[in-house]
Amino acid sequence: MVGFFHPSVPETTVKTAVEGGFVPFRQASFTDVFALFFPAVTGFTAGVALSGDLKNPRTNIPKGTIFAILAGLIIYLGLAIGFNLFVNRNLLQTNYHFLHQVAWIPLLVTAGIWGATLSSALGGILGGPRILQAISMDGITPPLFAKTFGKNKEPRNALVFTFIISEIGILIGDLNTVARLVTTFYITTYGFINLAFILEKWASANFRPTFRVTAWVGIIGFITSVAIMFKMDMPSMFAAILILGGLHYVIRKKQLYEGISDVWPSVLASLIRITLSRFSKMKLSEPHWRANILLFSGGESIRPHLMAFSKQITGKHGLISNFDLIHQPGGDRLFPVRHEIFSENKAKESEGVFSLRQQCNNIYEGIEMISATYGFSGVEPNTIVLGWGRHTNDPIRFASMLGYLENLNLNIVMLDYDKIRGFGQYNQIDVWLRGGSNNGNLMLALVKFLHGTFPWHQARVRLLMIASTDQNQEKLSRQLKSLLESMRMKADVAIVSKAKNQNVHDIIKEHSTKSDLTFMGLAPVVPGQEKHFIENADHLYRDLGTIVLVKASSFFSQLAIGTQHTRAKNQSSFTVKKTKARL
C-alpha cells in the first residue's frame, strides 16, 4: 500500500486516476475473476489438515477459517481498488511484473512471492502426509504409510510418497494442467464438506456443533461448488467424481465402517419417517396394489417353497415379513420371549425380506395374534401367506384360524405344495374364476406379479370359468377378455360347460391336472362346519399338483361376470362393487 504513494519508479502511478473513476479496461468473465480469488481460500485447508496439532480444534478451525477468508477477501479487494486508482493503466495491461515498479521496496515483493509459495508447499507437505497416514491407519491405503517415527509420530513414509507425487506434478512442465486438476479437487472437497454438513444437520441426532450455521449455507455452498466445477472444467469434475467413487467402493469392499461415524443410517431413518408419514395418508387404489406379505413359513430350510413363492408374488415391489414360529409348549404366556431378527441364508437374503423367529406355546394362537397386531400405519401387512394344512394334527382348529384371519379383512393366500411335482416346468398357470366373487381380482394381481419373475415369465396363463348350459358362453368370453384388457394382461380364455348333475370338482381336475400352478378361490369357513370344510378341500386338491388358494379382502372389487347386474364400465364389461377396505 505504501508503494501507491512512494513507488520505486514514480512515473508508474497516475495521481489523477481518480478522475476516471472505476472504469474497467477489460471485460472479465466469471471464470477469470474466480481464478484470481480462488487461491485466497485454499490456504485454510492446511490448518484443517493439522487439526490434530491444534489445542482446541472445535473452536480454532471454524474461527480460523472465517478470519482467514475475510482477511484474504479484504486484501484482494483492497489491492484491486488500489491498482485501479493509483497505477497506470498501460502498465497494468502490458507488464506482468508491475508490482516491482509500484512497490516501495521491490525486494519485499520477491520475498512475499517466495513466502506465499513456500507456505503453500509446506502446508501441503505437512498436511498431506498426515492425511495419508490417517487413512492408512483405517486400512484404506497400504499400511506402509501408517508407520510412525519419533516422539511426535512423524509420517516419514507418507512424506516420501507425497514428495514423489509433487515431483511428478512439477515434471509435467505445465502448471496450468496441474492447476486444473488441483482446483477441481479443492472445489470437490468444499462441495462434499457442505453436503456432509447438510446431511448431518438434517438427519443426525448426534450432530451438535459448537459453531452453529443455518443449513441453507451448506445447500448454497454445495450447489455453487457443483456449478463452478461444471462451468470451469467438466472433464476434471468427472475425473474427481470417479476417483472419489472408487475410494468409496474400496471402503465398502473392505467393510471399513467399524468405528467410523456414518451419517447414512440417520439419513435413511429420516427418509423412512417422511415416507411413512406421507404413505399413511395416501389411499391406495386397486391397480397400484402390491403385496405386503406376512409369511408364516415354519422355517425356510423346512419349507423353502413358501419363501420362493412369496418372493415371486412380491418381486421388486412388495415386502415380506417372514415369521418362523417355534412351538414351545407350556408356560403362562403366548410369547415367552421377544421375537429375534435372523437370516437363515445371508447370501440369498433378498431386499424387502425381513425374517423374525418367535417362540410361542400355541402356533394357531400365535398366527392369529401376530396377524391382528403386526405392522403399523403405512406398512400394515395386507396379505397372509401360509401352507395349506393338509397334514395338520388339528384340522378343526386350522379351519377356525382361517375364519379368524378372514374376519381381520386380510388377503389369505395358501400354497398347497406338491412335493413330487413342485412347480413343474413353470409352463402353465390356470386361474379359475367365479363371477360373483372378488377373489378373481386378487388372483389376477398375483399372477401379474408372478408372470413378471424369471421362472414364470414364459408361462402360459389360462383364465377358466365354469358356465351352465343356459348361459351365453360367448358373452362370458367377451367379458373375460375385456377384464384382461383392462388389467393389461395376456391370457387364454376358456369357458367350461357344466352339465346339470356334473360335479365342479371333477371339472377342475379334468382341465387342470397337468397345470404347473392352479389358482382357485377359497370358500368361506362356516362356523361349526370346520371339519366338513377341510375334508371337502382335501378331496378336491389331492390330485391337482401345486395349488394356490386365495381369499381376497374387501379391498378388491367384486366381479359380476355373467350375472344379471352386468354392465359396461371403464372399458370393461364387468361391474365393480366397492366396499370399505383395509389397505
Measured CA to CA, the distance from residue 166 to residue 171 in angstroms comes to: 9
- Check residues 562 and 543 and name the one with the higher pLDDT: 543
- Check residues 572 and 166 and name the one with the higher pLDDT: 166
pLDDT digit string, tens, across residues 68-108: 888 888 888 888 888 877 777 777 777 777 787 788 788 88
Q: Is the pLDDT of residue 578 over 60?
A: no
Measured CA to CA, the distance from residue 45 to residue 41 in angstroms comes to: 8
Beta strands in 425-546 (DSSP E): 428-433, 460-468, 492-498, 517-521
**Residue range 434-451: average pLDDT?**
87
pLDDT digit string, tens, across residues 494-531: 988 887 777 888 888 888 888 999 999 888 777 777 77
Mean pLDDT lowest among 157-161, 399-403, 570-574: 570-574
**Residue range 251-269: average pLDDT?**
67
Q: Quick one: angle between helices 215-232 and 234-253, nearest 10? A: 120
Measured CA to CA, the distance from residue 336 to residue 419 in angstroms comes to: 34
What pLDDT, on a 0 to 100 scale, did the predictor assign at position 570?
37
pLDDT digit string, tens, across residues 286-300: 877 888 999 998 776
- Where do the structural domains in the chain lie, given as residue ranges? 1-12+29-104, 106-172, 174-279, 286-551
What pLDDT, on a 0 to 100 scale, did the predictor assign at position 414?
92
pLDDT digit string, tens, across residues 346-363: 545 567 888 888 888 888
**Residue range 308-322: average pLDDT?**
87
Q: How many CA atoms lie within 13 A of 211 on its CB side?
A: 13
Measured CA to CA, the distance from residue 106 to residue 100 in angstroms comes to: 5
pLDDT digit string, tens, across residues 475-492: 888 888 888 888 888 899
- If 0-12 CB within 10 Å is exposed, 13-18 middle and 19+ buried, where does residue 329 land? exposed
What pLDDT, on a 0 to 100 scale, did the predictor assign at position 472?
79
Mean pLDDT lowest among 4-18, 112-126, 148-162, 486-500: 4-18
Q: Is the pLDDT of residue 574 over 60?
A: no
Mean pLDDT lowest among 43-57, 113-127, 187-201: 43-57
DSSP tag of 6: S
Q: Is the pLDDT of residue 18 over 50?
A: no
What pLDDT, on a 0 to 100 scale, did the predictor assign at position 488?
84
**Residue range 124-134: average pLDDT?**
82
Average pLDDT, the chain: 79
- Residue 46 pLDDT grade (very low, low, confident, very high; cuts 50, 70, 90): low
Among candidate residues 312, 550, 539, 320, the one with its CA nearest the CA of residue 414: 550
What pLDDT, on a 0 to 100 scale, did the predictor assign at position 15?
46
286-551: CATH homologous superfamily? HUPs (3.40.50.620)
What pLDDT, on a 0 to 100 scale, did the predictor assign at position 423?
92
